[in-house]
Structures are given as structure tokens and as C-alpha cells.
Structure 1
Amino acid sequence: MNRERGGGAGARVGRRWAARVVGMVSAVAMLLLVPWAGGASAHGSVIDPPSRNYGCWDRWGDDFQNPAMEQEDPMCWAAWQADTNAMWNWNGLYREGVAGDHQGAIPDGQLCSAGLTGDGRYAAMDTPGAWKTTDVGANFTVDLHDQALHGADYMLVYVTKQGFDPKTEALGWGDLELVAETDRLEPSSHMLVDVSAPGRSGHHLVYTIWQASHSDQSYYICSDVDFG
């Protein structure tokens, strides 16, 4: 699967981002421990169906110390405990210098953390389990929120094959089927890719590779979906 070259939500995200920054004023001690470089430099991620770390931030960013999360959203709870920065920096899950050799750069079992990028900050994203899912049909649209307007040399969208179980298996390249690819995309706050993935039921992973245009920066994004 090596790839040399392929071919209204913005306002909601902005409001939530502002609300969470305000909400965190009361947690000054915690903020001192949480670097905001990812938010400040503003890269991007898939927000629909939401990436694992964006979903955890979206649901719990303004209430991340609530003990109810452990029962209501246990995978996010574990991820928050492992490294809060993985959620605050939901837009920074990328590697540099891959030069299109995605499979060579990212080992099996580490696809959702981009090969433990960022000194392992996103390692919890690789953990199999009952992650919250987004309901989709055989045809759906991937919405990548490009905060910094990088644009894309290309985007690749994969979906796991029928029979793969995200609850018990870590993702490997052999578990994926390429279902959509694009040519170059001009900078836009929301880069949309239409996907067709028939013949699936139940919990699956959508795996999006976003090759940003501004530099050799490759984003690797896991989103949990349910085909019903």
C-alpha cells in the first residue's frame, strides 16, 4: 500500500474551542502542565466521523476531570489519563519526512498514533476497545477540518475489512481497504471526501491519510464508525 502520490461545522468548532478555553481558566494548576503548542499552531484532523482524540476532546474537553467519564466513555477516560496533551493537541497527529512511504514509516499496530509520533503522546489511540462510534451508511463523507488552511497534496481514505474487530485488534495495514483518494485539494477550512464502503456491518475504523501541501507533513487519523 505504499503511496508515492495519489490523487456550518467550522463555526461550531470555533465556539466549542472558545468555550473550553474560558472553562479552563478555573483549572490554572492543570493548565500549567498542559502545553498548547498544537492548538496554537493549528493543524487539523477529521471531525466527522470524529477522530479518536478529537472525539474525546469534543465530548469531554470542558469537563475532562469528571469521574463519570470512566463509566460513560472508558476509552476516552483511559486516553485522558495516559496523556491529556493528545486531546488538547487533537490537531497535531502527524509525522514529517515520510516522503509518501506511509506503510514503511508506520508499523502495524501503531497506525492510529502515527508510529508513536510526538514521543508517544498519542499511544492510547492505538488501544483496541469500545471506542464511541459514529453511525454511517455505505456512502458517507469524511470532513477534515483544516484549521491552518494547509490544503492537501492528496487524501487517502481506508476502511477496515469486514471481520476486523476494533474492540480486540490493533490496526494493521492488511486490515484496510482503500475506498477513496483525491488529487490536490486547495486550502479550505473543511476538505470533504465522499466515501463508498459497501458490504460492511458493525464497528469499523476509517483511516484517513492527509498529505498536507505546505510541507512534507503526513497526518494519520483513526475514526470509529458503525455501519449498523
Structure 2
Amino acid sequence: MPVSAKPARLKAKAAATVTALGVAPLALTALAAAPAVAHGSMGDPVSRVSQCYAEGPESPRSAACKAAVAAGGTQALYDWNGIRIGDAAGRHQELIPDGKLCSANSEEFKGLDLARADWPATSVGAGSYTFKYRVTAPHRGTFKVYLTKAGHDPAKPLAWSDLDLANPVATATNPAAQGGFYTFSGTLPERSGRHVLYAVWQRSDSPEAFYSCSDVDFGGTTQETPADPNDSAAPTAPAPTASAPSEEQIEDGAGKSTVENHGHGDGDAHTSAEPAAAQDAGGNRPKAASAGQNLAETGGDARTAYLAMGGAATLALGSAVLFTAARRRSASGARHGR
């Protein structure tokens, strides 16, 4: 047989083996075709990056999000759920300098650190508040949410000293993920005007941590912001109300995300810790948005079943090929021994 004919023959045999095993070839391609998933960001009150992603990375509506894209590009918005430090291990203040809290000191997300008073904001008030953290790959860990101190000036770069670190407004450890969100309660103190909520999600099954800034408005002021900060003659108007991205927007932009997690952390070697047991205190496994089955705390979604099928088919194919090769060697040995 000519050498050039061997690849075609091998492909044909592989296809025949897959068919004989009752596994559709499509299952094998699912492993490579399924898009990667990342981790999460505050959904309510919506984070800056989620808000700008909801407006549309290529043509955001608000002046603040337009400025963020001009400073850092559109890719940061497609990677909205990946503001993270792989080896944080609780060293948040050590690793993130003042003025770079919203980006977690990442060059990609530097547009989110822009100090301006017109970021789209969620209206809030003092008292109990139900926080919703949008999650695309659940992990065990602890959430802490901090609020800026009274008298905060949103037109100045956010510093650690601006946050009331001694009194987080919410703390939650291993909350259950349901409907694509971690939901937990907190209490907002008396404030007036615009403030920032800073969320830190420190994983317990890895040193990896995630960060987000959410702009909120407690009211009580009449401050208005120019529609175009570069045009002093422009008529004034209040900053737009914040809104989280829809499921359709998240799905539509998933293919453009460069953040991967492969189950428990992305390709970063610092996030390769073995995942913890995947259940909450009630024994329930969390579900990611649009998932039709229970998911491990290390991430995944409805595509996980297809990935498993692809992996199983690959293993089965490998086993069949080895078995066939072993039989041929055995038969050949028997012939030569006669």
C-alpha cells in the first residue's frame, strides 16, 4: 500500500470504530467546539464591567463606558467575568495598588479605573440588600463586599482607604449558586450621593480571587453630570441607570471571551488546585445559568454533558484501537510460530 494512502485508511477505520461503538462523530468534536467559560462578576448592583458589556462592547451608550473602551479596548468587556488574580490568596491590598482596584491591577481592564462621577449607577438605600453575583463557573469560597466611606468623591481614583474595610456590608461563605447567581444578604449603612461597592470573591479551593466595582446612588443630591465631559457647554443630565447583561447578550459574546477556566481556574498554574467537594450545606449541587443538570463547584454548564460524551468517545476509541492492535500482534505471532 502506498504510504500516502495510510492516513485515509486510518481515518476510515477510526470512523468505523466510532460507529461500531454507537457514538456519533459529533460527540468527538464537541470537546474542541465548546466555548470556554469564565467565572463571574457582581450582577446586582451591577458591576461596571457588566454594565458596559450590557451596553454593547462595540458601541456602548454611556459616556463612562465609551471612555472605558477608549482607554482599554473592547476585549475587556467580552472578558467581563474574568477580573481576577490567580495567586491572590487573600493578599488583595498587597497586590492591588490604590487607583487600580476596579481592574485588580490588570492592564486589560484599566478603563474601569477611570475616576469619573457619571458611571451608570444602581439606586439603593440604607437597610437590608440582596446581592446577586452572576456566576458562570461556580467555586467554593468567601464573598466580601465593601462600601466607600461617607463623603466619598467619585471623581477621584478609588483607594483602599476610601473603603470601610473594617465593616463589610456583606459577607458570605459558600452560598448556593442557583439560576446562574450566588445570592446573599447584606446591610447598607446610611449614605448620600454616589458611592462604590467593592466585591472580593476569594476561592477556598484555590488562591484565585475575583474583583468588581459596582456604582450605586443613595440619592439625596442634585448633582448632575455633563452628557459629554469634554464639552463644558453640553447640557447636563443625570448619569444613566445601570442594568445587567441579559442571558442572550452573555451567550452571544461568549465566543469572543479570552478567559478560560477548564473546570478549576484557567491556564494559570497558580489556579490549578484540586477542586473542593461540589455541594452546599444542604447537599445541593449548584447550577449555572441555562444548565439542565447539577454542576460541580469547579464550573461548567449545559455543554458539560457533551464534553463528557466527547471524552468518553475518545477513550472508547483509544481502547478499541489498542484492542485491535493487540489482537493483530497476537495473530501475527501465532502465524510466525507455526
Q: Structure 2 length normalisation: TM-score?
A: 0.50
Residue number among 73, 89, 93 corresponding to 2:83 in the alignment? 93
Question: What is the aligned partner in structure 2 of residue 26 from structure 1?
Answer: none
- Secondary structure of the 1:115 match is coil
Question: What is the aligned partner in structure 1 of residue 194 from structure 2?
Answer: 203
Residue number among 142, 147, 150 corresponding to 1:154 in the alignment? 142
Question: What is the aligned partner in structure 2 of residue 142 from structure 1?
Answer: 131
Partners of 2:53 and 2:143 lie apart in 1 by 24
Question: What is the aligned partner in structure 1 of residue 51 from structure 2?
Answer: 55
- How far the C-alpha of 1:203 sits from its partner, in A, is 0.5
Question: What is the aligned partner in structure 1 of residue 175 from structure 2?
Answer: 185
Code of the residue aligned with 1:52 in structure 2: it is R
State whether residues 83 and 103 of structure 2, in contact with CA within 8 Å, keep that contact through their aligned partners in structure 1. yes
- How far the C-alpha of 1:212 sits from its partner, in A, is 2.9
Gaps of 5+ in 2: 1-34, 220-338
Query: Please, what is the CA RMSD of the aligned residues?
Result: 1.7
- Secondary structure of the 1:182 match is strand
- Secondary structure of the 2:173 match is coil
Partners of 2:89 and 2:203 lie apart in 1 by 11
- Matching of residue 227 in structure 1 with residue 224 in structure 2: no
Q: Percent identity?
A: 40
Question: Of Structure 1 and Structure 2, which has the larger fraction of its residues in strand?
Answer: 1
Partners of 2:124 and 2:56 lie apart in 1 by 23
Code of the residue aligned with 2:50 in structure 1: it is Y
State whether residues 142 and 173 of structure 2, in contact with CA within 8 Å, keep that contact through their aligned partners in structure 1. yes
Question: What is the aligned partner in structure 2 of residue 74 from structure 1?
Answer: 63
Question: What is the aligned partner in structure 2 of residue 65 from structure 1?
Answer: 59
Partners of 1:208 and 1:176 lie apart in 2 by 11
The structure with the largest alpha-carbon Rg is: 2
Q: Structure 1 length normalisation: TM-score?
A: 0.73
The CA deviation string for residues 106-153 of structure 1, in whole angstroms up to 9 with x for no partner, is 11111101012xxx0000111111101010111322210111122x31
- Matching of residue 131 in structure 1 with residue 131 in structure 2: no
Gaps of 5+ in 1: 1-38
